[in-house]
Structure 1
Amino acid sequence: MDVIQEGLAKKYIKFDSEERKYITYVIPDVKKSFTNPEEKVRAETYLQLILQYEYKPQHIDVEVTVPARIPSIHADLVVYKDDARKSPYIVVECKKETVSEAEFVQAIEQGFGYTHSLRGDYLWVTSGLKSKYYDVGNFPAGERIDNIIAAIPRFGQSKLSRAKYYKRAVDEDGRPAFDLEIVAQDELTRVFSQAHQALWAGGKRNPSEAFDELDKLIFCKLWDEKRARKKGEPYDFQEFTKEDPDFLLKRVRAIYEEGRLKDPEVFREPIRLTASELRTIVGYLAKLNIGDTDLDSKGRAFETFLGSFFRGDFGQYFTPREVVDFIVKVLPIRNESRVLDTSCGSGGFLLYALDKVRAQANHMAEEGYFKKESVQHYNHWHDFAEKNLYGIEISESIARTAKMNMIIHDDGHTNVISFDGLQSDQEIIGKTGNKGFKYNSFDYIITNPPFGSSVKQTEQAYLKNYRLGIKDVSWIDRKQKNISQLGPRDSQSTEVLFIEQCWRFLKPGGRLAVVVPDGVLTNSSAQYVRDWMEEHYRIVAVISLPQDAFKATDAGVKSSVLFLQKLTEKQTEHIQHAKQKLQNRLWEKPDYSQAIAKLEAERDRIMKNHQGFDASLINWESEENLKNLKGQAIDPGLFDKAKQPLGGPNRKLIEKTEEYRAWKAEITKEHSERITELKENLQDEYQAELARDVANYPIFMAIAEQIGYDATGRKTGVNELDTIAEELKGFIADIDSGRDRFFA
């Protein structure tokens, strides 16, 4: 309910202009600045007292002077028992939404002081996002726990309700009550953020631990909403009137354990909050109806909260929604598709895939295939979420967050696991018990693997099992030196290994969309990676992202989105055979193999014969030469240039001098440069013929300079990825329809 709009319609309040700089409470005719954040909370609370608690405007006063308080101060709102406003009943203290927990506690003390001075019966302290209620009149002045109540009484209500929130807004005695509230996205985001801040407590608990505990309580809240209860039964995830705080803690823990029995992988650790801390967070979450809140609103709220959290210490786990949306929009994922993210982080790619299939279900309902609220509609997307959606995340806490994120989005968390995504499928299945993670079984992999880190052979023995984890020799060097691979690498970058791991997980014809640093696509040192990719994948598209695409998440590496399609074994063998045949033909050309051999022979002959080296230039007394010769006796007469023999001790002594070494380096450099030039020409000719005869198919390429946000993460008005997505979808459709016949 938008109480401000209803209050305007019923003329309980009015604004001075459309800008709403000032608000007037018509009764009792008080004008205040509406730009003050606390005033907005007061206005909403004032209207709740009228519209929801059914008090007459004549019984409510704004800014009531508190007696016996010096200097003169005012209570924000007071509800009176009588029209004459002589007998205070409820005192309300309002604070802005962003008030800290410490400030909220201080406001409670302030409210108690006002209530005692005014001789009121009840106290309501609220920030809009959170409220606390107290029975002040029937307890000693210092009581702050036993006199907590679930809610202030409604107008005419003589008996306090046991709880505030009841199924279908009727309490156990049949009286009007409150049901859970569906709130807007921005309010839900603020609730999550404020609750996290309260748990963090300015450093009392580290942000990650606070996030974990909040996740557990959101899980409890959702589970409590799903539990079967009759009309008039109270929800369990809330404070009851005059209840011992330990009872609330036990009740919430029971909800938590009940949920864990069904899915023990979501949370393995117990709730670690004290009774007091738990009450604080329940105060934020109790009123929310998270389950029935619009899917997009609650999803965006949690994602926005995740974004603000993950941009801190965990920025590497957060892929901007514009990039995620682009990738999922392009791929023809359907409900029968098996989808995997091998580095799922907080679950963004999986959620967008789920939302895409849910949208397809809605569209099918509109087309008349089934009714929107039917079992068929539900099964269409929920079976996909439960059976076809998979994620791997190496960080246990982040994997748990991904699960929670998907639960918020109405499920899809079942097959999200915490594991090293580079382990073999048998290792993953054996350790997790999830048989769905089989190689050669996925239709789509959508992922943004971690950049910049390496897997070391000394730390992960599985590196040797990757073809891209083996030292490689260029095909020219293999031909020239008659060698092949050289054994395992000492280390390999994670992004390269994930390209191969994704190939293993995909079924033939399956597609990979992966964010990669541009070095994989452009660096000469990564040529072997590109060679391997063109033998095992069809390159579908390369979409260049701007330099600052990931800067807002503290990753400034220039990146691109690579779309690949796994080839069949037969197609890979065909390409490898064709490449081998082309390499053999080109190597046999005299301009290359014979010319390279001739240069090598010439270099060796010159060095062997000291051809062109002038020994008379040697300074035998130089410090470097004396060190190299190690005190050997020198007969200067032996080094007369005209009498100098090529063999014997003279040759060995000459080759130890710095002059000879400099000459040898120069000869080696000169010939190496000429050989390198021949090899480069050979490689250029090879690549040209390869592109023409072996891998001659179209590749979609685009450069996106503006993608909807700037380097700070601030939204902009232009996102070129939207236009690129439409073009690329058509390109992929042509491949799928057979109009592209390269691999026919």
Structure 2
Amino acid sequence: MADTKVIVIPEGKICDYVDGKFRNDTPEEYVRQTIEKRLVNEHKYSPKQISIEYTLQLGSRKPRADIVIFNKDCSEKTQENVKLIIECKKEAVEARNAKEGVEQLKSYMSACPNCEWGMWTNGKQKEVYRKFKNDKGQIDFMDYNDIPSADGSLDDINRPKRTSLKNAYDDNLLFVFKTCHNHIHVNDGLQKQPAFFELLKVIFCKIEDERNIPNPLEFYTTSEERSNPDGQLTVKKRISKIFERVKKKHGKIFDSNDEIKLAPRSLAYIVSELQKYSLLNTNIDIKGKAYEEIVGANLRGDRGEFFTPRNVMKMVVEMINPKMEERILDSSCGTGGFLVTAMTHVIGDLEIAFAEQICSPRKDWDNDSIRTFNDRISEMASNYYFGFDINPDLVKATKMNMVMNNDGSGNILQTNSLLPPHEWTDEFRTKLAEALGIDKSEMRNYKTIGYFDVIVTNPPFGSKIPVKDKNILEQFELAHIWENNKKTRVWTMTDRLQSSVPPEILFIERCTQFLTEGGRMGIVLPDSILGSPGLGYIREWLIKNHRIIGSVDLHVDTFQPRNGTQTSVLFLQKKTQEQKDAEEKSGTMADYNIFMAMVEKVGHDKRGNPTFKRDKEGNEILVPDTNSILLDGETEESAVVSHEQKKKVEDDQTPDVPAIFADWKKQEGLSW
């Protein structure tokens, strides 16, 4: 690999992805940079073909087009050789805007005699046009699904083949999801939440169609279909057939009488936006970020639900290191991020084992091998992955997240998991017992629910949502009043219950009850539990019942911009009854080391804006983007030299912690 070259970015500037020039960091520029990355990494245009802020001659005016693309074999970048023009606007500018809307784009295209294609976008909506001469010899414009890729193939625009599907890059999938959701919200008159679920139905159809190997893809709309009512109805009929298969396959998610409620026009638009991508093969981090961000924006409730950032989930899962045949639970699963991350971690091990078994690396697997591997993932999900949440909409969203990312919805169930087990609904108890392979009568009370080997969770927390129900409180030692002997500094539990308890305190004990002996958990908790003098009884209870493996102190901005609570991740391993009895008999507790770390940088600030590494003078730095997709005939070395795509370096310490923890764990003799 070529030597890494670090470049400093002046304050308030960004480095253009194509030409490397510094430009003002504005909302409009964000849209343009997103499009530039898509042109290079998805459409495979060489940066040498692309000009940014290209000056056009329109009579006496000389406006600058945001992005201009020339033919690959073009020797001179003259106005006559312009092939494609793209105009990028900030979100506030509408397509019908008289001065900056699509008419501006059409005037630019008309001034370039050989310009056939144009695109206008504001990040929320996108319009694509193909220029042609009508029967009267006048310039006219036809709506199209998308601009052609560098190879110029139009067939793939209208009906993509499996081999032509593109993996989404960087934020482009989030960009597309937001565009589609906004289109439904505005054009179908649906509120945000119903609009979100309609979008998910269409996403499921897309995934089902991709999985329907070896049949040709049916999830598509041609440009002609999209632009007329009869064609839009044809698209709706085609997608509805796919949705019938989806309902049969995912009966736990969709009712048999469910249907896609979108207007044919909206459905055709959304299909045109999604059809070019492979949702199966796109990087899981890119899919997860896009999905969880749009879920969080539409389903966030008022029960202390502050969804965990992906980088923190990844850190926790890598440290807790779940294995292939361990039962894994998130007792407050939210959008399902922890479960997806845990399953992705284990799928890596499963893939290695499967490749060894069939003596073939994944890139060489045939369709039968892929199907067999996906069946094993589904089997693993149904046997070993569990998620509970009180919010039925989040339960549905989690199931969808699991299917979209890992081909298995697991056992995602709706319940208030703090209730006494005998008060859980019969439906919940039946489904859970069936998945655990036990009789539901065995789950009698809080002492008989220890079935999970690993728990990763971020419980709802806050004084605004206290638990006051006596039936719930009496299950928990931590719901009792504890007294502190000031001489011995020992806490003693009394028979009296507290009148109300914050939910995160109860979730600590409930998660411990859910664990098998020797089971381990990573749990996000407010720092008050770990440091407040009045909560010393919780720490004493934790030490009595667990080996405290580690504590990672998170930066105060971790859950911003929505929550500024200072939090930590606590890693615990449940003691066996034998260990507790031995310690009680001897009057002493085992002596051991505890892993401690502080994460001072989490990759974003208190407003939620990303933060990047800076040099000693405080300027942001750039390094070559080795993750950009190589063009035909390129190597990593030639790509760095030829078009010099660069990226900022996220200022995030969470990826560093698991490796340090793994070394410490070896020294301590911890085998997991």
Normalised TM-score (structure 2): 0.66
Report what 1:95 is aligned to.
87
Given the alignment of the two structures, is residue 697 of structure 1 paired with residue 630 of structure 2, yes or no? no
Greater RCO structure (CA 8 Å; 6+ sep): 2
8 A Cα contact 1:392 1:416, kept in partner = yes
Report what 2:161 is aligned to.
167
Query: Which residue identity is paired with 1:554?
Result: R
Pairwise CA RMSD: 5.4
CA distance in 1, matches of 2:595, 2:69: 67
8 A Cα contact 1:132 1:283, kept in partner = no
Which residue, out of 515, 518, 524, partners 1:509? 518
CA distance in 2, matches of 1:460, 1:275: 52
Given the alignment of the two structures, is residue 266 of structure 1 paired with residue 253 of structure 2, yes or no? yes
Which residue, out of 561, 564, 577, partners 2:569? 561
Which residue, out of 450, 459, 465, partners 1:449? 459
8 A Cα contact 2:39 2:45, kept in partner = no
Query: How many Å apart are 1:109 and its aligned residue?
Result: 6.6
Which residue, out of 526, 530, 551, partners 2:535? 526
8 A Cα contact 2:304 2:461, kept in partner = no
CA distance in 2, matches of 1:140, 1:536: 85
Given the alignment of the two structures, is residue 345 of structure 1 paired with residue 334 of structure 2, yes or no? yes
How big is each residue's C-alpha offset from its partner over 1:687-734, in whole Å with a ceiling of 9 and x where there is no partner? xxxxxx422321414241524435434335465555553443345456
Which residue, out of 225, 233, 246, partners 2:210? 225
Query: Which residue identity is paired with 2:159?
Result: Y
Report what 1:552 is aligned to.
560
Report what 2:406 is aligned to.
410
How big is each residue's C-alpha offset from its partner over 1:563-590, in whole Å with a ceiling of 9 and x where there is no partner? 1111223434455566xxxxxxxxxxxx
Counting only pairs closer than 5 Å after superposition, residues 601-620 of structure 1 correspond to structure 2 as: none
CA distance in 2, matches of 1:504, 1:62: 68
Report what 2:311 is aligned to.
322
8 A Cα contact 2:42 2:168, kept in partner = no
Report what 1:235 is aligned to.
219
8 A Cα contact 1:121 1:137, kept in partner = no
> Which deviates more from structure 2 when the two are superposed, residues 272-281 or residues 716-725?
716-725
- SS in structure 1 at match of 2:329: strand
Query: Which residue identity is paired with 2:340?
Result: L
Evaluate the alpha carbon distance shift between residue 193 and residue 270 of structure 1 in structure 2; reply closer, same or farther with a 3 A threshold: same
How big is each residue's C-alpha offset from its partner over 1:120-142, in whole Å with a ceiling of 9 and x where there is no partner? 9998655498454689877999x
Query: How many Å apart are 1:277 and its aligned residue?
Result: 2.9
Report what 1:648 is aligned to.
none
CA distance in 2, matches of 1:227, 1:466: 49
Evaluate the alpha carbon distance shift between residue 165 and residue 131 of structure 1 in structure 2; reply closer, same or farther with a 3 A threshold: farther
Evaluate the alpha carbon distance shift between residue 48 and residue 413 of structure 1 in structure 2; reply closer, same or farther with a 3 A threshold: closer
8 A Cα contact 2:220 2:275, kept in partner = no
CA distance in 2, matches of 1:210, 1:73: 39
- SS in structure 1 at match of 2:516: strand
Aligned residue pairs total 560
8 A Cα contact 2:547 2:573, kept in partner = yes
Runs of 5+ consecutive residues of structure 1 not aligned to the other structure: 1-14, 23-33, 53-60, 80-87, 170-178, 579-692, 740-744
- SS in structure 1 at match of 2:321: coil
Q: Between Structure 1 and Structure 2, whose CA radius of gyration is higher?
A: 1
Query: How many Å apart are 1:45 and its aligned residue?
Result: 8.6
Determine which structure has the larger helix proportion and give its number: 1
Given the alignment of the two structures, is residue 255 of structure 1 paired with residue 242 of structure 2, yes or no? yes
Evaluate the alpha carbon distance shift between residue 492 and residue 96 of structure 1 in structure 2; reply closer, same or farther with a 3 A threshold: same
Query: How many Å apart are 1:299 and its aligned residue?
Result: 3.7
Report what 1:729 is aligned to.
662
Identical positions, percent:
24
Evaluate the alpha carbon distance shift between residue 504 and residue 545 of structure 1 in structure 2; reply closer, same or farther with a 3 A threshold: same
Which residue, out of 189, 197, 203, partners 1:212? 197
8 A Cα contact 1:512 1:565, kept in partner = yes
Which residue, out of 277, 300, 308, partners 1:288? 277
8 A Cα contact 1:167 1:229, kept in partner = no
Given the alignment of the two structures, is residue 431 of structure 1 paired with residue 427 of structure 2, yes or no? yes
Report what 1:193 is aligned to.
178
8 A Cα contact 2:329 2:456, kept in partner = yes
Evaluate the alpha carbon distance shift between residue 302 and residue 101 of structure 1 in structure 2; reply closer, same or farther with a 3 A threshold: farther
CA distance in 1, matches of 2:515, 2:337: 20
How big is each residue's C-alpha offset from its partner over 1:309-343, in whole Å with a ceiling of 9 and x where there is no partner? 78999994321233222221112311111111111
Query: How many Å apart are 1:344 and its aligned residue?
Result: 1.7
Report what 1:643 is aligned to.
none
CA distance in 2, matches of 1:162, 1:369: 34
Query: How many Å apart are 1:498 and its aligned residue?
Result: 0.6
Report what 1:332 is aligned to.
321
CA distance in 1, matches of 2:521, 2:34: 49
Evaluate the alpha carbon distance shift between residue 247 and residue 315 of structure 1 in structure 2; reply closer, same or farther with a 3 A threshold: farther
CA distance in 1, matches of 2:161, 2:85: 28
Evaluate the alpha carbon distance shift between residue 236 and residue 532 of structure 1 in structure 2; reply closer, same or farther with a 3 A threshold: same
Query: How many Å apart are 1:525 and its aligned residue?
Result: 2.8
CA distance in 2, matches of 1:21, 1:473: 63
Counting only pairs closer than 5 Å after superposition, residues 61-80 of structure 1 correspond to structure 2 as: none
